[in-house]
Homo-oligomer: A and B are copies of this chain.
Amino acid sequence: MKLLEDRILKDGVVKEGNVLKVDSFLNHQMDINLFNAMGKEFKKLFKDHNINKIVTIEASGICIACIVAQHFDVPVVFAKKTESINLDGAVYSVPVESFTHKRTSNVIVSKKYLQPQDHVLIIDDFLANGCALEGLISIVNSAGATVEGIGIAIEKGFQNGGEIIRGKGIHLESLAIVESMNHETGEILFR
């Protein structure tokens, strides 16, 4: 998606350790107009799927998921990273390692909000090693629901998450795939 690639080139910053900072528009300060353009694009890319629910994971996936959900006219369920006293009752739970935070959290979704009849589009901001997505796929499968597709804003094409997910036969669409980036020159190349 050219609009997103152009924005990454304009406002993204490459840091050491394969970190791409896009916190001025994607995951700290958030450009809602950009997210609506992304929602329109996802709607086009997943037009052949009947989707009745969007699932994402806290925190930075939530805003994108909620804006995208308007283009599908469906509710959003976000997976929580810690247990809460407000989430009593039965939950689906899976451990997920965060690339960014270098730690493992327990990711949970209440069983009430994922049912066998659900056809789910998973939305997230980043795809790197795919751990978070594999956790969400596992949760959707545990519920007997169907993963219709996965929509990602930025995929790091030089990490293996995309390959793993596509290898499962899942319809994965990333709006921008970074093929390589260099923190010394600041150069970012897209696939």
Contact = CB atoms under 8 A, between A and B. Distances in A.
Contacts of A70: 32, 36, 67
A86 B30 contact: no
Interface stretch (A71-79, A139-147, A162-170, A179-187): A71-79
Interface in A47-70: 58-59, 62-63, 65-67, 69-70
Most buried by B among A24, A30, A58: A30
Contacts of A67: 66-67, 70
A27 B143 CA distance: 20
A76 B24 contact: no
Nearest to A65: B63
Contacts of A81: 59
Copy number in this complex? 2
B19 A86 contact: yes
Contact of A28 (B24, B27, B65, B80): B80
Interface in A64-102: 65-67, 69-70, 73-78, 80-82, 84-88, 100-102
B31 A75 contact: yes
Contacts of A30: 66, 75-78
Contacts of A87: 23, 28
Nearest to A88: B15
A28 B77 contact: yes
A86 B32 contact: no
Contacts of A28: 77-78, 80, 87, 109-110, 113
Contact of A78 (B21, B25, B63, B110): B63
Interface of A: 15, 17, 19, 21, 23-25, 27-33, 35-36, 58-59, 62-63, 65-67, 69-70, 73-78, 80-82, 84-88, 100-102, 109-110, 112-113
